Amino acid sequence: MRTIPTPARLASAIITLALAASLPPAARACKGGAKQQAFQKIDVEELTRLQATGPVHLYDANSEKTRKKLGVIPGATLLTSPSEYDVAKVLPKEKDAVLVFYCANVHCTASHVAAKRAIEAGYTQVYVLAPGVKGWAEAGRPVERPNS
């Protein structure tokens, strides 16, 4: 026996379809049906707290020129390119490892590009040090000059 939808059910279905259609394509087309997590922006103090709670993998997304000018946070891995680094070789195997990417300052977005690659690779604890190496140094934290 077939049920004929009531006007209320029909209206509800139409509204649901309209809302789904109004979503941006990125919200509808996620890998595996789950929404990908965005990276979190943190400041120098938040990075210090993260470092106090356990291992943090730090990645410098700056160009060589910027590194020579501003320096590098000690212990950071220097990425060859924020958009083309080899995820399998550079990032840890553990997808729940804490990853922090940084670039020059609050206006730089190279760290955002690098962080997005990590998220696309399935990493779940991805952060961007928003003030970058400049903010790190301005907070009185140490920087190193890279070897030429």
Residue 14 confidence class, pLDDT cut points 50, 70, 90: low
Domains and CATH numbers, the chain: 31-138 (3.40.250.10)
pLDDT at 147 (0 to 100): 75
**What pTM was computed for the model?**
0.75
83-102 tens-digit pLDDT: 999 999 999 999 999 999 99
Q: Is the pLDDT of residue 35 over 60?
A: no
DSSP readout, the chain? Answer: -PPPPPHHHHHHHHHHHHHHHHS-HHHH--GGGSPPPPPEEE-HHHHHHHHHHS--EEEE---HHHHHHH-B-TTPEEPS-TTT--HHHHS-S-TTSEEEEE-SSTT--HHHHHHHHHHHTT-SEEEEETTHHHHHHHTT---BPPP-
